[in-house]
Amino acid sequence: MNARILDELRAIVDGRGLISSPEELHTYECDGLTNFRVMPRAVLLPTSTEQVQKIVRVCHRERIPFVARGSGTGLSGGALPVENGIVISLARMNRILEVDFPSARAVVEPGVINLDVTARILYNEFFYAPDPSSQSICSIGGNVAENSGGAHCLKYGFTTTHVLGLEVVLPDGSLVHFGGKTLDTPGYDLAGVFVGSEGTLGIATKIILRIVKRPACVRTLLAAFPSTNEAGTAVSGIIAAGMLPAAIEMMDNLAIQAAEAAVHANYPDCGALLLVELDGPLAEVETLMTDVNEICRSNGASEIYVAKSDLERALVWKGRKAAFAAMGRISPNYIVQDGVIPRTALPKVMSEIVRLSQEAGLRVANVFHAGDGNLHPLVLYDRRVPGQEEAAEILSSNILELCIAAGGSITGEHGVGEDKKKMMSKMFAEPDLLTMQRVRSAFDPLQLSNPTKVFPTPRLCGEKPGEYTAHPLESAGLAERF
């Protein structure tokens, strides 16, 4: 990229929205997955859709690859810059443009922070449902790219359920609209394809969200079990009884210990902890809570506790949400994994994880979104011990293979990004991936939009999953995630 192009880009963003000095570029060389780092040629911070279009048109004309970036909290390297490419940060496009309560819609720019949507509408008893645990720092644009989930997506669905329409700058710089404020707009569901495409199909510049009325009441139960097997059977019992809780979370003993050490959530010391949250009308929730209590007890729960106030409920969640970062209390280094299994495969997959963990001589802590089978095994290791890092990486990969073998997925919410693209061919057959690539070609024939992510390329064989390092904001105590 020569100086002429750089000047042209700088002029688009009024001079103030371009970063090109090496020291400032360092901030953008990775996202939440810090073991992959690439220095971009420049970072652009547009403030309007028109600016995004102009930047992308230059990229298209000059064949410069670009990567859109929200808050950079992603855990799969999706916002990792591309060699000789630019980063387009949407952080300055952070206005909530419109809230329509009667129709339960909000229109936002991509840089709006997830939690700020709820903060804006809470006074009228509405909330924005998708709740990735980085929600106090992650952006809606990033959520759209990753189709972010969260603990409550068991009942409320993922980002894709809540995105009704998008304004998108395509990789040739043209502006299009997918979906809308009304449902079932005529034509293909391009909004459905775009959400979760990890920045490979263009850049969203406006997002129409569905907002949700807050439930009349929320109850959270904590139950202590001898092991994950009993806790897993209790989860199956809850599902079999015809209930759809707002969230069902599970932590194993090692995760409990770490969370206790970090935030003192007053968790009982047990083999596995189950957290069940129900919401809805009071009478309904109370009836079902009695049933959940009974199911937990009959499946061997030794201790059951229902949070009595919002404060107690917050403390229960605090331990769960702190689980990733809490690993630092019990291990110098660790890798966060994100895999999905059919829930019924839990006992089998767990015993396999135990076996693999023993064989590798490494501890694995487990945190699950148990309702939907989303596992977050945390592989603990010490980098100073020769060979341990490599062993941890192999173990982490092997756990993903267990998920695939059980009929699950290599990622439930963190995305494929840079990190897991080599696993894609283990989950999908060649024709499956080629078909996805054909769809991509319709959007981005020149492959300029986040070109090296999601899909496997032969030269990328042998890459390994990376160690978890706290995001700078997380280390500073400004955010947590799980």
Partner 1 sequence: MDAATQSQSTTLHSSFRYKLISFLGPDHVQAAAPADAVAGVQPKMIVAPGNERDLAEVLRLSNEAGLAVIPRGGSTKFSWGNPPSRADLVLSTARLNEITEHAWADLTVSVEAGCTMQRMQETLAQRGQRLALDPLWPEKATVGGVLSANDSGALRLRFGALRDLIIGVTLALPDGTLASSGGKVVKNVAGYDLPKLATGAFGTLGVITRAVFRLHPLPRLTRSFSVATATAEETRRFIHAVQNSKLAHTALQARFESGAAPQVDVLFEGTEAGLRAQEAHLKELTETAGVTEASPDIWNARQSLWSSLKPESTALAKFTVLPAEIEESMETIAKSARARHLEWEGVVQATGIGWLRLEGDAKDLRVSLQELREQFERGTGSLLVLHRPAAMPSIDTWGNAGDALHLMKAVKQQLDPKNTLNPGRFVGGI
CA-to-CA distance for 249 and 375, rounded, in angstroms? 10
Among 1, 5, 175, 354, binds partner 1 (CB under 8 A): 175
Q: Return the SS3 of 157.
A: coil
Among 192, 332, 361, 472, binds partner 1 (CB under 8 A): 192
CB of 342 to partner 1, least distance (A): 4
Contact between 420 and partner 1 by CB under 8 A: the answer reads yes
CB 164 within 8 A of CB 128: no
Contact between 6 and partner 1 by CB under 8 A: the answer reads no
23 or 430: whose CB is closer to partner 1?
430
Query: What is the DSSP secondary structure assignment for residue 214, as one 8-state letter?
Result: P
Q: What is the DSSP string of 428-479?
A: S-HHHHHHHHHHHHHH-TT--BSTTSSS--GGGTT---------HHHHTTS-
Strand order in the sheet with 163-169: 96-100, 105-108, 203-210, 163-169, 175-179
Footprint of partner 1 on 354-373 (CB under 8 A): 369, 372-373
CA-to-CA distance for 44 and 67, rounded, in angstroms? 10
- Would you tell me how many other CB atoms lie within 10 Å of the CB of residue 300? 17
CB of 280 to partner 1, least distance (A): 5
CB 148 within 8 A of CB 133: no
Footprint of partner 1 on 241-280 (CB under 8 A): 241-244, 280
Footprint of partner 1 on 295-334 (CB under 8 A): none
Among 183, 311, 461, 476, binds partner 1 (CB under 8 A): 183
Contact between 215 and partner 1 by CB under 8 A: the answer reads yes
170 or 327: whose CB is closer to partner 1?
170
Contact between 281 and partner 1 by CB under 8 A: the answer reads yes
Q: Return the SS3 of 215.
A: coil
Among 282, 314, 446, 460, binds partner 1 (CB under 8 A): 282
CB of 401 to partner 1, least distance (A): 14
Contact between 99 and partner 1 by CB under 8 A: the answer reads no
Contact between 415 and partner 1 by CB under 8 A: the answer reads yes
Task: Output the CA–CA distances (angstroms, integers) from residue 396 to 105, 360, 410, 423, 426, in the order listed.
Answer: 40, 11, 11, 12, 15
44 or 80: whose CB is closer to partner 1?
80
Contact between 97 and partner 1 by CB under 8 A: the answer reads no
CB of 236 to partner 1, least distance (A): 6
